[in-house]
Chains A and B, each alone.
Chain A
């Protein structure tokens, strides 16, 4: 994958060529902005949305860089409200949003030329063909008629729709409809795509293909993607960054790797008689030990007692199956209390 600098340089040269051809000046300005802010895609400051009965977002501040970002949270956590504010579909009660260098609240229509949106729900008029609809959507985005048609053909081919694109969408399968939904979000070549649960309702094969398309869009096409999902396995497969929302608040945001960091717990799996004595020896040595499903969990601080543990295993004639430093799993995010309790338990004993 090319670095940001290389991509920015390539982008700038494209923009320069275009400018030589004397085409729209404001696009040149926007593109320069895009090159400048390539690193930071989106920034919110104290974003708050209060509905009469519920606070959907509560002083939500986050910075998101380009790449593929997963937005996770349980139902009603505020994911959709967050996406809808970026899209201008919902007006926040207070706070600020900067997207692609635009103030999303003041320059919404200008910004949204460069955004593609794939909603979670059905949104296709079923009595027209995919070609007719996607081409219309491209024109709504400001593309001239001829360009819209050309882009429509290309985009539908990219998402894997061929002859069937001339047929009424009424007869399409869920997978085909999802592809058309993705195509209409991609047809105007956006700089940022917001995908709300893109794999909703798909079978495993369709899910794989959709995730593959999302990954290609983010990695190969160089389009920033924000994708909401409640399936962590999908997020893990596709995303570089993760934003976790709970109860309208930002729980955590960062690269995916940082969510699966090593913990200060060593998991030891041993087999044989004498496990209890082994545990007693560790406890006597002052270590914090918990036994859980044939796995001995040892809290390690600065001491790093690896040699002592190995020797103890050997002394009791146990078979050492596995010894590893535990990693946080993404699932822990959804049961933070449980994870905290576990850590607390280990530390306490």
Chain B
């Protein structure tokens, strides 16, 4: 045996101690996987390069909001461009990029590194794993869909001279902001999870997520200008950006502009809600099915 190993041997001989403390079981497994995945989504505990993309994208998504707050703070004119009802229009592309960057990280990494058997061979059920990962991704998306809106809400109140008056006039918006933010986060989390979990290859799933989230709205635009009619109505319900916009407008009881794809379809906005729920359910089921069937 080498000299180094012998030297180390003297340290080994402190003896092995058994663990006599508590074992918290499944709940602890679930919570720690959730926390670890959420940290991983932002590259925490990893090298600096892993943090760059997620943090940059979140900042990019927050930029319009911060800009508006800055303008509101220095100019006396009440020029509000971003409203809760149209906030999503400003962040949808950055949201899609964030999904494409982070979902493969959360759902393909353990397959690529072959860490999955270690999870499944512990006191964790396969569905627990999927739920923890989905929850972590949805939580990460809230940093884009909800957090800037809350900042905006508080900022708008502080910018005006009358904070109490602002809160009194706008308190109705708060639950709407939260509900729409959560729905959009869960909706996008499930779609990108369903895609991101299908292959261990990160590059493929990144491209596929971009295609499904962003390119589909290009398709919708083309159909809106050419075919129209019932086809457009169906397509609009299936395209994530359009369906999500529809749900948000419906929640805020706002209208859509005539010249948008959604406006051209002439669809009743409430129909977007069951459409979003259905797509969320199907994509969540696809994710669960993937991890239930995966041979590890």
Contact = CB atoms under 8 A, between A and B. Distances in A.
A229 to B, nearest CB: 19
A1 interface: no
Interface size bracket, A side: 35 or more
* Overall SS of chain B's interface: loop
Interface residues of B, number: 43
B32 interface: yes
B46 A137 contact: no
Interface string B103-118: 0000001100111011
A112 B123 contact: yes
Nearest to A127: B46
B19 A147 contact: yes
Contact of B113 (A14, A27, A115, A123): A123
A129 B123 CA distance: 23
B113 A109 contact: no
A113 B45 contact: no
B16 A220 contact: yes
Given A113-B123, A143-B23, A158-B16, A123 B117 contact: yes
Interface string A174-214: 00000000001000110000000000000001001100000
B19 A115 contact: no
Given A112-B122, A140-B29, A140-B124, A122 B113 contact: yes
B20 A14 contact: yes
Contacts of A222: 18
Interface string B123-149: 111000000000000000000000000
A140 B119 contact: yes
14 contacts: A109-B26, A112-B121, A123-B114, A123-B115, A123-B118, A127-B46, A128-B46, A142-B24, A143-B21, A143-B23, A143-B24, A162-B8, A188-B23, A205-B1
Interface of A: 14, 17-18, 23-24, 27, 87-89, 109-110, 112-113, 115, 117, 119, 121-128, 132, 136-137, 139-145, 147, 151, 154, 157-158, 160, 162, 168, 184, 188-189, 205, 208-209, 216, 220-222
